[in-house]
A and B are shown apart, each in its own frame.
Chain A
Amino acid sequence: MPTLSRSIIHSDFERNRAAGLELRPEADLWRARFTAMACPCEVLIDTHEELVARHAAISVSEEAWRVERKFSRYLTDNIVYAINTASGRKIEVDNETARLLDFGVSLYQASNGLFDITSGVLREVWHFDGSDRLPDATAVRNVLKLVGWQRVRWSAPLLQMPTGMEIDFGGIGKEYAVDRASQLGSVAGGVPLLVNFGGDIAATGPRTDGSAWKVAIESVGPNQPTPMVELKRGGVTTSGDARRYLLKDAVRYGHILDLHTGWPIRDAPRSVTVLEANCTQAGVLSTLAILQGRGAENFLRKHKVTYWVNR
């Protein structure tokens, strides 16, 4: 464990506890809980020592909240707000934002435009509340004019977007936070740990006794046994959400939109779970798989990854 005075850890811990961080001992580990990025977050810390657990938990929660503050589209004092309200002006971005934008561009190219960090504006017309209220086709067409990375001028560190377009790191920010926070927490505590932010998971290494972390996959289906993943090192993510859809004339409209048409991807799985080397890689593959619609399983087989699909 890195040398750090107990009093500093204590005061940092109190500050984080005030922000919602809880830490409890269990039989053979410590479990931390907090809320970030609008979802429940947990950290399983493979230690018996409370001080080690505190140090690791603080690192994880602070990194999660930092990434949230910096990249949330709901805040009005961060870089995403500055970009989205620039009205066609050039915005200079910092290095971390530039690298995340680069990552977004790589997914845009890899998915042939089906994944696009400028697609968030479609939320203005699509409300997946379980009702039968489909949007007007003209409204969808109009909003679609504001989607498309090819309309963005990006030459680091300068970003220029037409007025009305928005960027949204929602599709990549959480996995990025999981990978970063788990690494930082593991280094801070000097012990293996598992981070789970709303179902996006990363484990930094096998437990000290050599055993694997055990992760249940809840989303496979109501009448099927819950698969269990033995995770020693790597990431697990689940894309899709069975609760977010519209239902009209017996047709189910899932919330994954085809950015070429502005309408839901047809025959998309309700959820896809992927196990990969880290959380981001898993997230990329589970997201891209859903975007393949009926071809999701083929896509996953082609990439030779461990996956579970719920249709």
Chain B
Amino acid sequence: MTQTVTGPSGKKTTTIAPGQTPVNKYFKDTRGAVKATWSQPLGDVWRLNLGGSVSLEDDFKSLGANALMARSFNEQNTTVSGGLSYEYDSINPIGGVPDPLSVVPATGGTSPVAHSRTKNIKGALIGVTQVMNQNWLVQMNFSYGSSSGYLNDYYKQVSVIESQTMMPMPQGDPLYQIYENRPSTRSQRTIYLRNKVYLNGNVLDISYRYGWDTWGVRSNTLGLRYRWALSDHFFMEPHLRYYRQSAAYFYRRGLLNSEPVPEFVSADYRLAGFTGRTIGLEFGTDVRKGNWWPAGTLTLRLEHYTQTGGSDPQVNIGVQQNFSLYPGLSANIVQVDYSFGF
């Protein structure tokens, strides 16, 4: 038996053997982005930051602007900041915007309901940074974000699964795909706490973030970094990150063909309940100015990420029990950075 998954562009079909993760061979995207920020002190205690961004992709255009005001008190030991941001996105899927919840058509059959859709994202942030003593800094933020408009991912589809025995397809077999559908609004709130402690030239950085939103996704992030200065010009920084989120209320790994199609459903793994763990190590060294390069800092970052979860017991029936539906994933990341001032 085979499962089949149609490609995001709607032009090709890929056949995936059971147990394999479907990856689209025909996926192609080009992205160009510009981001600018400007920071201006206003007198001794005020500072204004302004930013703007433009991002252009084949099927996605985005314009954004943000402003942040900060004021310091207590001889610069306390900083209070507040900011607003706005982003406007235009989404133009190749082949048009699909009809939510409709059966994904085969090649040649198209059923777009529009050429494009838009969404906008408004954000607000207030924060306090407090110097507790000469070796200890505390930062607290609260942010609010509200998205509205077309929040579907038009590349995402949901499998409909055979629910019964004695039917042509074995129970548990994916039959076909429908387009996902998400609510058209989402508001998210986040609380962020960070402690930076200086210990004999080394830096311990502990952070915690709690987020919750109207889609039912609640997340906890715990971060730990220790910047260890091995000499004046060389440092090593191990870090750990733990992330856990609950699933959106409309997340489903798949739908059974015996149940009515819900108003909202998505199988996007980013909306599933899962736990992510990162362990990493960063090395950095100062580089003196050379003939061909400016003075700066060279860093090498090594990371290992594992993710588990995403289960949906409702679709774990019949032949599905022969496969691991939630095999988890892991990734190794190597990154080299060179940063310099000019």
Within 8 A of B (CB), among A83-109: 95, 98-100, 102-103, 105-106, 108-109
Within 8 A of A (CB), among B103-122: 103-111
The residue of chain A having its C-beta at the shortest distance from the C-beta of B261 within the complex is A155
Partner of A109, one of B4, B164, B169, B261: B4
Number of interface residues of B (CB under 8 A): 31
**Interface 1/0s, chain A 108-119, versus B by CB < 8 A?**
111111100000
The size class of the interface chain A forms with chain B is 20 to 34
User: When A149-B103, A155-B101 are in contact, do A106 and B6 touch as well, CB less than 8 Å?
Assistant: no
Question: Per DSSP, are chain A's interface residues mostly helix, strand or loop, or mixed?
Answer: helix
Check B168 for interface membership: any CB of A closer than 8 A.
Answer: yes
The residue of chain A having its C-beta at the shortest distance from the C-beta of B103 within the complex is A105
User: When A109-B106, A112-B13, A303-B2 are in contact, do A183 and B166 touch as well, CB less than 8 Å?
Assistant: yes
Tally A-B pairs: CB < 8 A.
81
Within 8 A of A (CB), among B70-115: 101-111
CB of B168 within 8 A of CB of A172, answer: yes
Interface residues of chain A, those whose CB is within 8 Å of chain B, are 95, 98-100, 102-103, 105-106, 108-114, 148-151, 153-156, 172, 175-176, 179-180, 183, 260, 280-281, 284, 303
CB of B168 within 8 A of CB of A100, answer: yes
User: When A98-B257, A99-B162 are in contact, do A109 and B108 touch as well, CB less than 8 Å?
Assistant: no
The residue of chain B having its C-beta at the shortest distance from the C-beta of A115 within the complex is B106
User: When A105-B175, A110-B4, A281-B1 are in contact, do A175 and B168 touch as well, CB less than 8 Å?
Assistant: yes
CB of B106 within 8 A of CB of A149, answer: yes
Question: With the chains together, A183 CA to B257 CA distance in Å?
Answer: 23
Question: With the chains together, A153 CA to B101 CA distance in Å?
Answer: 10
CB of A105 within 8 A of CB of B168, answer: no
Check B177 for interface membership: any CB of A closer than 8 A.
Answer: yes
Give the Cβ gap from A33 to chain B, nearest Cβ, in Å.
Answer: 25
Give the Cβ gap from A284 to chain B, nearest Cβ, in Å.
Answer: 8
Beyond A103-B169, A114-B106, 19 additional pairs, beta carbon < 8 A: A95-B258, A99-B162, A100-B168, A102-B162, A102-B257, A103-B168, A106-B175, A109-B106, A109-B176, A110-B2, A111-B106, A113-B106, A113-B108, A150-B110, A151-B109, A155-B260, A156-B257, A280-B168, A281-B1
Question: With the chains together, A212 CA to B62 CA distance in Å?
Answer: 66
